[in-house]
Structure formats: C-alpha cells, structure tokens
Amino acid sequence: MYFARDRSPGAFSDSWYNTTLHAVDATSATELWTKSGDNRDTGVPVAHDGQVIYSDNRGTFCYDDSGVKLWEKESYTSRKPLIQGDTVYLPMEESILGLSMEDGSQKQTIQSVPTSPSLLASDESAIYIGTTGGALRVFERGGN
C-alpha cells in the first residue's frame, strides 16, 4: 500500500506477512529508508505532517520523515489508525485508544465500542466508528 504526502515521503508495507516499512519519495519513487517489523499481524501505516504511524505485533511506532523513531507504545492495531489534529486514534479490540502524535502518551480511551472497530472517520468535533458488527457509533473528540 502507498500513502503519499505533498513534498515528503509516502510509506507502505510490502504485504500482510512481510512487515518491512518503506519510505519512498512521492515524486521520484526513490526509497529513502526502511524499518523491519515483526513479520506477523501487520497494521496499516499512515503518514501525516512529516510523521508515519505504524503497528505490528511489537507495538505502535511513530517515525519522522528521515526514519528516526520518535516514540513507541506497546499497544498495537492491525486496523488503519486515524490521525486527527495532534491525536492518533488506534482501533483496538473493543475500544479506541487516542495517543498524542508528539510523544505517544495516552490522551483518550473510548471504551463503549460494541464490537471490534473496523473503520474510523472524523470531523472537528466527533469520531465516527464503523464496527465489524455493522454498527455506526459517534463519539465526541476529547471525551470518553
């Protein structure tokens, strides 16, 4: 998969089973750096404002455009995270975990998700959660 950002590298993962994360220049397709993962249960990398968020069985990691690890958290998700402002939202088994993009500290936990969250979307005031059970839930950003 490929995630491009204007004037900065995109990021993609080779496949579900090979968790090597590659950063490539969006214009020239030149590989800039790689990071090896756990080779199991890979998440989806998401690029935003010079940072890449990526999860595998070891945890969730935040890298800058040059491949320097800014932070890591033991929590991981195999689903696509959502970045809104200065928060990355990780869809967990029956909750959503909100982490600071700056340092990975926990900012918010949304506990009342009825079944595994599968899709996340947001606007300025709310997070919209689609679940594997077919439910759509709406939660205020910054609240629980």
> Which residue do the tokens 């090896």 mark?
36
Q: Does 64 reside within a domain?
A: yes
pLDDT tens-digit readout, 100-143: 999 999 998 877 666 666 667 888 778 888 777 777 778 776 65
Q: Does 16 reside within a domain?
A: yes
Q: Does 123 reside within a domain?
A: no
Range of the domain at 33: 3-112
**Interacting residues of 7 by C-beta distance below 8 A, sequence separation 6+:** 26
Q: Does 97 reside within a domain?
A: yes
Pairing of strands 136-140, 69-73: unpaired
> Which residue do the tokens 């009825």 mark?
114
Q: Does 125 reside within a domain?
A: no
pTM: 0.75
pLDDT tens-digit readout, 42-87: 667 888 888 888 887 778 889 998 889 999 998 777 777 888 888 8
Tokens of 2: 């490929």
Residue 78 sits in a domain whose CATH number is 2.40.128.630
What's the total number of domains in the chain? 1
At position 135, the amino acid (one-letter code) is A
Alpha carbon 25 to chain centroid, angstroms: 20
Q: Does 104 reside within a domain?
A: yes
Q: Among the residues of the chain, which ranges form H helices?
A: none
